[in-house]
Amino acid sequence: MGTREACLLAVGAAVAVAIGAAVALLATRLPPARNPLPARVVRVDGMDRTFLVFAPAGRRAHAPALLVYPGSGETADGIRRRIAPTLERLAGQQGFVVAYLQGFESHFNDCRRLAPFSARTERIDDVAFSRAVVADLESRDGVDRRTVFALGYSNGGHMVFRLALEAPDLIAGVIAVAANVPAGDNLACTPVPGRPPAVVLVEGDRDPINPYRGGRVTIFGFGDRGNVLSAEESARWFAERTGSARPSPRRVLGEQQGRVALEQEFGEPPHRVRLITIAGGGHAIPQAAYRYPRILGGTYRDDAVLESALRFVQQEISPLPLGSSSPR
């Protein structure tokens, strides 16, 4: 074996160790299991794909649905353990169904050209998977496919960008946490005609993985996933698809242990793009129940951010709460 080959193997091993360590950190910090949900299975491109469904009792007919996409190396059960206290409380109060989707080898084929994981290199069709999940929810849970939303974290956040661009007929609104739009040379998604969904970006300005001000995404220096725009450029990028990227003034949504949540809309009223910045926040989903490992940066421990994001995207179907029976 030559020197070059030995170096490449050493670098590959270091990347695997770094990514494995980051995944292990998340796995060791899992909260106790909630009421377990049986896995559902759909067949997509000859493969069995799985997901978990929380369907609150007493929900109305033709309920809305929220699809949830975990981050790199994370499972559907893992993200559920972290954010279910918030999401399933809101689902019970407002009558929507929550589906937690499992990635292929714990990743989704997102919009980043340089993403190195197998879901990307093997061209896994996660849009088709999402459509199959929605069809299952419509058939078994009475979900109204016109009122489907998506929330994704990290790699899952990049996956909901793909849905926003390539499946606007399927998704009424997306919430992307800890994910910025890929830069032009790294963008692998092609927008299709159709009314763009409402978009909320939730970004920590001290995120050690997804750079708030734009640049290269890595796992602590390893596992290059290419360049992304800044958080504000990402919001402007989506707003320009609706005709205007004019920003509104920032306003304070809340403060928690020295971290401040700031909201800002882009475009003309009625606004359809919102950026929520967590000043002092890291690579974490803001919610009250769970604190992410400190290596990922600070966690904003309050449910107000997700509640605000859900209210913003739900305006796509009605000015009334998600539990309303008014059609879009």
pLDDT digits (tens, 9 = 90+) for 145-172: 999 999 999 999 999 999 999 999 999 9
CB 153 within 8 A of CB 79: yes
pLDDT at 25: 55
pLDDT, tens only, 239-249 = 999 888 999 99
Q: Is residue 75 part of a domain?
A: yes
User: What percent of the chain is predicted at pLDDT more than 90?
Assistant: 78
Q: Is residue 322 part of a domain?
A: no
Alpha-carbon distance of 99 to 52, in angstroms, equals 6
Q: Is residue 44 part of a domain?
A: yes
For residue 178, pLDDT beyond 50: yes
pLDDT at 17: 44
Token pair 């590959």 is found at 12
pLDDT, tens only, 14-26 = 444 444 555 555 5
pLDDT, tens only, 291-302 = 999 999 999 999
For residue 328, pLDDT beyond 70: no
Q: Is the dihedral of CA 229, 235, 238, 239 positive or negative?
A: negative
State the CATH number of the domain containing residue 196.
3.40.50.1820
- Domain interval for residue 36: 24-314
Q: Is residue 135 part of a domain?
A: yes
Q: Is residue 7 part of a domain?
A: no
Averaged pLDDT for residues 198-217: 97
Q: Is residue 323 part of a domain?
A: no
Q: Please give the structure tokens belonging to residue 270.
A: 């009625």
Preceding omega of 249 cis (within 30 degrees of 0): no
Alpha-carbon distance of 102 to 69, in angstroms, equals 7
Q: Is residue 62 part of a domain?
A: yes
pLDDT, tens only, 240-273 = 998 889 999 999 999 999 999 999 999 988 889 9
Q: Which region among 4-8, 36-40, 55-59, 279-283 has the lowest average model confidence (pLDDT)?
A: 4-8
CB 200 within 8 A of CB 171: no
pLDDT at 270: 87
- Mapped onto helix, strand or coil, the DSSP state of residue 169 is coil
pLDDT at 4: 52
pLDDT at 1: 52
* pTM of structure: 0.90
Q: Is residue 254 part of a domain?
A: yes
Q: Please give the structure tokens belonging to residue 41.
A: 């299975």
Beta strands in 87-241 (DSSP E): 97-101, 143-153, 173-177, 198-204, 215-216, 227-228
If residue 260 lies in a helix (H) or strand (E), which one and from where to where? Answer: strand 259-266
How many structural domains compose the chain? Answer: 1
Torsion of CA 278, 281, 284, 288, to 10 degrees: -70
CA angle 112, 299, 99 (to 5 degrees): 60
pLDDT at 171: 96
